[in-house]
Structure 1
């Protein structure tokens, strides 16, 4: 089941038509019709889409790969003596993980608004160099207080990246073609997990080089790479379609027209006000979107932060632990892309969320009940990683692409990621060292929050189905002005939610 289809007769087309589009119809779907925007004669739609892919996806994927790597490499550092050298005990390690999420949650929405005003090239490049520098300082700290301070500022600089990149991607692609791009970007987390394990196993051999322990070199080397990347991005990072100087004028107008057909007017030049924030947050569907993501953040960060700890409880040495952490991430990347391709092909999201979530529940259930078979336990780690990290990008894409206009997408996407990452705080205390090697409490918590995500997804699917049916029965020719359409965003009676 995809978006609600309507008759294509002339009267219905007129009801869908947006002012100022010279006969181009704001259709409910992305399927080809006679009213599609006309591609410039010197090129094709496929060529333009491919150019967009090469100009957008590599940049955002590499950026988030480094961000996620700098965020979770503390789990790798733990295997190489971080706790011992900083004389940490009890739940101090968990607290160091938690403090990252305080600014990460609080500053999501303001940071996304800054992204709109400063442009992605400027704001994301500054943040990239910032969290890279903080990561270097994390490798130079001399006590636990210094570690807490660097983790806090890491959250300050990283808070914009995830919702900001999703916001940018959603501004370039039609709804029926977005999932592959969302999943490819999101799967950079899987690549970061795999790359982080390999890199940590190699850097671990630098133990005591120039008097620094191996865990320090993990932060210093990875941080230096990130600062360099931020400097490069200052000159090369892409912006929104309205800022795309690398497209010809007719190509840029065509891209904007095809986006209008799929998503409605963007309102890129419209200022975001406090009234906008209040209006967006009064929509119950926005809250459901937050809970959908919140439920999966707990198992996602539990795995990202504690996979080395769980593998270490299987009595592997530090180097083997890092190497064993790589295959689940690699398989998760491949599986996530397969699910995304089929989701775009079907133009459907809901069932492609439930299927991976079921795999994740099965994996955690095995870890919760099987404690005497190392091969089965290790295989279950594959299931948890595959299921969780395949469902999350579909949830984010589904929610983001159902938000109409720049202002609703900027606020709604930041809200979903910001609220969802409260689950990261819960995840950091789910796996306490003293609970090993069984970690019964941690696995039970993960299953519980996955179930919360399932309930939220079902309620969201029911809500947008009801909204679509209600709108199909209404007279939609309300003679709204362009300004009124932008104010309404996806609340516009002509807008159709994708299921």
Structure 2
């Protein structure tokens, strides 16, 4: 009996130890789950739009997709988003830089742009654009992207068209300033918009396609100016006026089409099935888990950006890139014309450099996403 009792006690002790071990394991797992939930909760946005965007109550659990299915999903999203925003930015860059093409078609002489008047007209676009870029992006948080972005596209298209009707230097300066204000919201707005759709490691390729539109715009601008130059004298207007009018009206058409084509955020995208929406939202929700900020505006966000040395460093890098880009886009037709080519041929010869530049931009973006290290791409 004593042996049986001792055996029973030993067995009971082992069972009790095993139970405590299992209980401890369960408690540890529960604790880990609680921490994960708390982290997810702390990083989840608190605004109503963000809750609707990433809320688990409105959509079913994310499906499990194979690699091929996921590739098809992102390709589907690309076809609904990238082409229209690229065309919008292409139109934007054409409308801001076509003054360089118009210069060769009689703009300087007819508007009496002597001395630094032409350069002042160029500069005022940059001043108004930079002054309104941040406010325009804050406005986007209050309006739907599918309305705000096409709306400003139509607005700057009308402004460009009006630039073809100016009769003197003050009118050119005024319209050029309004053009900078109207275009200020597109680029920062699209950056915010794309960040709501794609995980970070997929953004560089899409950004490259978007920026490629700006590079390709130089080629389009040269081709269009070459064709439009033959309209000089039509309806009593010079060739430079027709450049602004036709390209501005084309932008208005792009903006109107965008009203019907551009979608908002994944949670309301009708071209996606509920399962696909859940998958995209799930990917974005956990991709943004390290952000830990809601999307509501606060003055501290501005101050944080102004006091961040990385922001200033990237700004200087961007300035070093943008300065030659705009120098080329605004003066390349004049530079080529200075080599002895006539105005019409000079417009045509501006095309090849932009085609090569477009291919380079897209190639670097794809490579950056592939290695998932944008920093190396910037340094290179």
Contact in 1 for aligned 2:211/2:361 (Cα 8 Å): no
Compare 341-350 and 206-215 and name the one that shifted more.
341-350
Contact in 2 for aligned 1:260/1:266 (Cα 8 Å): no
Aligned with residue 138 of structure 1, among 139, 148, 163: 163
Cα distance in 2, alignment partners of residues 123 and 15 from structure 1: 40
Cα distance in 1, alignment partners of residues 69 and 39 from structure 2: 24
Where do 5+ consecutive residues of structure 2 fail to align?
1-28, 42-61
Aligned with residue 289 of structure 2, among 255, 264, 268: 264
- How far the C-alpha of 1:260 sits from its partner, in A, is 2.6
- How far the C-alpha of 1:268 sits from its partner, in A, is 9.6
Where do 5+ consecutive residues of structure 1 fail to align?
1-9, 23-36, 356-499
Contact in 1 for aligned 2:267/2:277 (Cα 8 Å): yes
1:123-180 CA distance string (max 9 Å, x none): 1111001100011110000000110011000001000111111221122112222211
Cα distance in 2, alignment partners of residues 278 and 333 from structure 1: 35
Structure 2 counterpart of 1:387: none
Structure 1 counterpart of 2:215: 190
State the TM-score, normalizing by the size of structure 2: 0.81
Aligned with residue 94 of structure 2, among 69, 77, 80: 69
Structure 2 counterpart of 1:202: 227
Structure 1 counterpart of 2:350: 325
Compare 297-306 and 43-52 and name the one that shifted more.
43-52
Structure 1 counterpart of 2:105: 80
Structure 2 counterpart of 1:121: 146
SS in structure 2 opposite 1:100? helix
- 1:49 corresponds to 2:74: yes
Alignment of 1:156-167 (within 5 A): 156-167=181-192
State the TM-score, normalizing by the size of structure 1: 0.62
Structure 2 counterpart of 1:214: 239
Aligned with residue 115 of structure 2, among 77, 90, 93: 90
1:375-399 CA distance string (max 9 Å, x none): xxxxxxxxxxxxxxxxxxxxxxxxx
- Higher-helix-fraction structure: 2
Work out the number of aligned pairs and report it.
331
Aligned with residue 317 of structure 2, among 273, 289, 292: 292
Contact in 1 for aligned 2:63/2:275 (Cα 8 Å): no
SS in structure 1 opposite 2:326? helix
CA distance 1:207–1:162, shift in 2 (3 Å): same
SS in structure 2 opposite 1:114? helix
1:246-285 CA distance string (max 9 Å, x none): 3233322211111233232778974212233233433322
Alignment of 1:214-253 (within 5 A): 214-253=239-278
SS in structure 1 opposite 2:105? coil
Question: RMSD of the alignment, in Å?
Answer: 2.5
Cα distance in 2, alignment partners of residues 66 and 80 from structure 1: 20
- How far the C-alpha of 1:44 sits from its partner, in A, is 2.1
Alignment of 1:368-383 (within 5 A): none
- How far the C-alpha of 1:39 sits from its partner, in A, is 3.0
Cα distance in 1, alignment partners of residues 81 and 73 from structure 2: 12
Contact in 2 for aligned 1:39/1:45 (Cα 8 Å): no
Contact in 1 for aligned 2:146/2:263 (Cα 8 Å): yes
- 1:147 corresponds to 2:168: no
CA distance 1:279–1:20, shift in 2 (3 Å): closer
Cα distance in 1, alignment partners of residues 370 and 34 from structure 2: 28
CA distance 1:238–1:194, shift in 2 (3 Å): same
- 1:107 corresponds to 2:129: no
1:165-216 CA distance string (max 9 Å, x none): 1221122112222211111110101211001101100000001011110000
